[in-house]
Structure 1
Amino acid sequence: MTAAGAALAGCGPSHPRPRTPAAPAVAQAYRTGDAPLVMQFLAHPDDDLYFMNPDTLHTLQSGVPLVSVYVTGGESTGVNHEPDGRHSHVHDLAAYSSARHQGLRQAYATMLGLPHFTPWHREVISLLPSSGGPYAEVDTLSNGRAHATLVFLQVSMHETGGWNASLPLMWDKPGITLRYVVAEGAPSPADQPAVWTHDSLVTALAGLLGHFRPTLIRTLDPDPDIQVHDATHPKNSDQPGFSDHRDHTATALFTWKAIRRWAATAAAGTSGAVGAVGADTAPGAGRGRAAALPAFRTAVYRGYYNQRWPFNLPPATVALKGRLLFQYGGDANWACGNPGGCGDYGQGRNQPLTNPKGWVRSTHRRYPGTPPSAVVGTPGRRISYEVLGSGVARRAETRPGVWGAPRDLGGGQLAPALSALPRPGGDAWLFALRFTEIEGHGGPNTRDVVLWRDGRWTSLGSPEHGDRCRRVGAPVALATADGRVHVFVRNAAKGLSTRVLDTTGWGPWQNLGGGEVQEGLAALTDRAGRVHVFAAGRDTIHHWAQTTPGGPVVARPGTGLPRPGDYPTAVPTPDGAIAVSYPRPASARTVQARISV
């Protein structure tokens, strides 16, 4: 099949007979015994502080070891701008990259509860032992149970010349290479020049996953929203046509491809681990490996999307994020002892809190609302399902509160969201969003909605075509008394699409119109059996519903509810109404509303 054909098959119009996706030939056991460890993969120093915090801080405070991997050198033009506009316009790539590393050490020391200039243990690992390089600096610091590891891969953000090479170009096109950026003061041999390729970066990322063996992986958004850029919506730092930085997207794509490779090698019992030049870099790193499925979970975070929607963090959390970014930004007058500088000065002082883009004021999950796990059945005989590793794990309750070992249902590489419909007999139908293909180098990069039913996975396709299928959200499904099953997704236009199963089979995907909404759909049936869907728009909560049971789901007039700060929840009330709850923007308060139907 050609690349174009593969893309169409993985993301295209619905078919009369939904296709069956490839699934593991043999179900394998999940690996057990790995201690909790979180890895997060960032494009630049500060992405974690802007877009993943406060989750990063909470992980450290919980005592779970945290490994943060920074893919690019963050060198930009090499100018370390001060927020008051005073700078010398000295273009020093090595110094600016080093200064940003130091800013991270200051911020993480603060999160660990230590003075910001606390010395770190700095060493070097070989990312590709068979070839001897590139190397990576690995910095570690602990305070009691709290342990942080920072890994710097130093891929150049851009190259000048005929290709004007960049990380997105290295993802998309064969033959593109990028320099390894040597940061000033990097320990040897991380101070040696080297070159990155598409495959060497995927191999290195997969090797780091094999080395640290995370139980939770955090990534940036591989599939950002389509964004119109005009006078009302200035482009700022977005990539053309989308609401995020180009390096965020490319880093996330490389990471998800590496996750797939690592999971495959672990299941086959082969090792892709990096080689340590010094000692082990994390508790439990480099332990023995056996052929088993790695039992990890994933979480995906939005980036510059934050500036396009109402802010979702209360003032106290924003102030906390700002305090940590203050440490990261540092100051040219600080005496930190780092030769390249004492932080990313343009992010210092009060700049993150005064920046009109407001990135610091939200933390958005890419797939909110629908959790990655579900439990069906009655106590003592329940069944749980969870997106785990590269598929779904099923556990059966052997007696109240006691669960059996997880069984691999396959499913492929899935987004961390799972919608479950209980069915007669105790099992459930499962609906998920699958990373069907994620190849790069001009190969297919597609997503589709998949269904687990009667022991097999089936593709339900996508309401979108081509690259637009990557912008579709995770499915939410519900069953009605007439036997129909309704599946809803947020589509590439930020509206609502649906597909319905009735006695004749699955109907086509349909666009239900309505205004633009965020991810995080709330779907339910009311006391009369009518379907309702609620979602958060920019100014109010949007509502779709059936007028009569069994009728079409259509966009309803505006609810008139106050502006939402994040996605809603909705439940039927005993008197036949619907209770809708959601956070207010930039507030710890919630709206509790009652909608008569």
Structure 2
Amino acid sequence: MGHPLSGTARGRWLTRGKDGRLTLHAPSDDGLLRWTERRPGGPEWTGPDFFPAEHLTDLVIAQGADGIVHLLARRPRADDPGVEIVHAIQYQSGRPVTEWRSLGNPYRTAENGRKAGVPTAAVDTQGTVFVFLRNAGRGLQLRREQKDGKWGRWEDLRGSRLGDGPVPAATSDGHVEVAVPSEQGVRLWAQDAPDGALSAVEPPLECGALAGSGTALETAPGRLTYYWTDPESASVVAHRRGGPVVPIGGSPGDGALAALRARVDGQDCTVLAQRGADGTLLLGVCATEAERHGMWWSDTGVACTGDPALALDALDRVVVAIRGADGAPRLTRQDPDGPGLTLSPDWRRL
């Protein structure tokens, strides 16, 4: 491979397009790599396609219900504001990625600009992109796309002593929320109505969250469940607004969780994936919104580096993607004839 992976992207780096084909995006030192299924459901893939883009770091991927894939990253600048947030789009599976467009950052000076955190994003049901960023003062900034395709100004959502790695998500009823770890517990901002302002939800949750570990999943219409790593107990926890923080076990490493809803033995289940403390891929399964009854965890024994990714293919089989110990992307699929969440032992190296 002429352009080896430099890591894994944050967010949904394995996506399913409107045509049912899966796409895998990954960063390299000098650009972006992309693999695409030849046909819906696989098993053959094309790629890697290479899209040159120098000096990008912290690649983040988000996807809306319209199937459009949004890519965000940080790019250093020698002049003010020191670092800019850049954005590119893939409109359809296998189609070219647009040029990277600068969204700037909330600051005019390089000194403050370089203190801005890693961008994260959510896309609402209308296709509007919301970009969140921890600012230099450790509060939260938002920049959102407007209906005419232009971008609004950076909005200061305030907050204090926030950690990096906001966890935004959009629901099927058009709302956007974001959870952020802080020294005071987990902070949450939410919309009262689609297209509305995001307001802080008080009080903060009195629990710790490892920065960069969180993910969110819509587990009922209009309702999100957040998952993150509690650094004190070294356990994964689950939380829904208005409910308790529920420990669900696991043996997480220091990376992010991936979450997905899927049919397992005919039942609506939540699937979690993480790189465990021993460096192997761990999977957790429970009935959706029934975490209090227990999460079933299994260690695949497959070594991985970086954060795993989950997606459903065109046949609604769970697909798990990792960056292997050799640095190459690998993936496998659910065996529909096996009991529970049985994965094929044949990992495809891309």
Normalising by the smaller structure, the TM-score range is: 0.5 to 0.7
Between the aligned partners of 1:561 and 1:578, the Cα distance in structure 2 is 19
Residues 518 and 535, structure 1, Cα contact 8 Å, conserved in 2: yes
Between the aligned partners of 1:378 and 1:483, the Cα distance in structure 2 is 14
Between the aligned partners of 1:540 and 1:401, the Cα distance in structure 2 is 44
SS in 1 for 2:238: strand
Is 1:580 equivalent to 2:221 in the alignment? no
Residues 570 and 579, structure 1, Cα contact 8 Å, conserved in 2: yes
Q: Name the structure 2 match of 1:433.
A: 74
Residue 371 of structure 1: how far off its partner (Å): 4.7
SS in 2 for 1:413: coil
Residue 298 of structure 1: how far off its partner (Å): 4.7
Is 1:452 equivalent to 2:98 in the alignment? no
Residues 185 and 205, structure 2, Cα contact 8 Å, conserved in 1: yes
- Give the alignment partner of residue 489 of structure 1, picking from 128, 133, 136: 133
| Structure 2 residue identity aligned to 1:474 | V
- Give the alignment partner of residue 47 of structure 2, picking from 405, 409, 416: 405
Change (3 A) 1:571 1:491: same
Residue 555 of structure 1: how far off its partner (Å): 2.0
| Structure 2 residue identity aligned to 1:559 | P
Residues 434 and 447, structure 1, Cα contact 8 Å, conserved in 2: yes
Residues 372 and 416, structure 1, Cα contact 8 Å, conserved in 2: no
- Give the alignment partner of residue 386 of structure 1, picking from 26, 29, 39: 26
Change (3 A) 1:591 1:389: same
Residue 448 of structure 1: how far off its partner (Å): 0.8
Between the aligned partners of 2:197 and 2:165, the Cα distance in structure 1 is 21
Residue 543 of structure 1: how far off its partner (Å): 0.5
Residues 538 and 564, structure 1, Cα contact 8 Å, conserved in 2: no
Change (3 A) 1:471 1:579: same
Between the aligned partners of 1:503 and 1:576, the Cα distance in structure 2 is 22
Q: Which has the higher strand share?
A: 2
Superposed CA deviations along residues 132-174 of structure 1, whole A, max 9, x for unmatched, are xxxxxxxxxxxxxxxxxxxxxxxxxxxxxxxxxxxxxxxxxxx
Q: Name the structure 2 match of 1:502.
A: 146
Between the aligned partners of 2:235 and 2:216, the Cα distance in structure 1 is 17
Between the aligned partners of 1:415 and 1:538, the Cα distance in structure 2 is 26
Unmatched 5+ stretches in structure 2: 90-96, 244-350
Change (3 A) 1:408 1:577: same
Change (3 A) 1:458 1:527: closer
| Structure 2 residue identity aligned to 1:573 | T
Is 1:463 equivalent to 2:106 in the alignment? yes
SS in 2 for 1:573: strand
Residues 494 and 518, structure 1, Cα contact 8 Å, conserved in 2: yes
Equivalent positions of 1:103-252 (< 5 A) are: none
Change (3 A) 1:556 1:457: same
**Higher RCO by CA contacts (8 Å cutoff, separation 6 or greater):** 1
Change (3 A) 1:537 1:444: closer
Change (3 A) 1:402 1:513: same
| Structure 2 residue identity aligned to 1:461 | G
Superposed CA deviations along residues 503-530 of structure 1, whole A, max 9, x for unmatched, are 2311111111023211121111234321
RMSD after superposition = 2.8
| Structure 2 residue identity aligned to 1:450 | V
SS in 2 for 1:549: coil
Change (3 A) 1:591 1:499: same
Between the aligned partners of 2:230 and 2:23, the Cα distance in structure 1 is 35
Residue 410 of structure 1: how far off its partner (Å): 2.2
Deviates more, 1:405-414 or 1:542-551: 405-414
Change (3 A) 1:412 1:372: farther
The number of residues matched between the two structures is 231
Q: Which has the higher helix share?
A: 1
SS in 1 for 2:10: coil
Equivalent positions of 1:444-593 (< 5 A) are: 446-453=82-89, 455-466=98-109, 467-504=111-148, 505-566=150-211, 567-574=213-220, 576-593=222-239
SS in 2 for 1:587: coil
Between the aligned partners of 2:12 and 2:127, the Cα distance in structure 1 is 25
Change (3 A) 1:423 1:571: closer
Change (3 A) 1:375 1:483: closer
Between the aligned partners of 1:591 and 1:423, the Cα distance in structure 2 is 27
Change (3 A) 1:396 1:575: closer
Between the aligned partners of 1:417 and 1:596, the Cα distance in structure 2 is 32
Instruction: Report sequence identity in percent.
Output: 26
Between the aligned partners of 1:507 and 1:444, the Cα distance in structure 2 is 20
Residues 372 and 417, structure 1, Cα contact 8 Å, conserved in 2: no
Change (3 A) 1:394 1:564: closer
Superposed CA deviations along residues 159-198 of structure 1, whole A, max 9, x for unmatched, are xxxxxxxxxxxxxxxxxxxxxxxxxxxxxxxxxxxxxxxx
Tell me which stretches of 4 or more aligned residues in structure 1 moved more than 6 Å.
none
Superposed CA deviations along residues 546-567 of structure 1, whole A, max 9, x for unmatched, are 1111111122212334233444
SS in 2 for 1:431: strand
Deviates more, 1:574-583 or 1:487-496: 574-583
| Structure 1 residue identity aligned to 2:112 | R
SS in 1 for 2:56: coil
Change (3 A) 1:486 1:463: same
Larger radius of gyration, structure 1 or 2?
Answer: 1
| Structure 2 residue identity aligned to 1:431 | L
Residue 477 of structure 1: how far off its partner (Å): 1.8
Change (3 A) 1:503 1:523: same
Residues 134 and 140, structure 2, Cα contact 8 Å, conserved in 1: yes
SS in 1 for 2:112: helix
TM-score for both structures, normalised by structure 2: 0.59
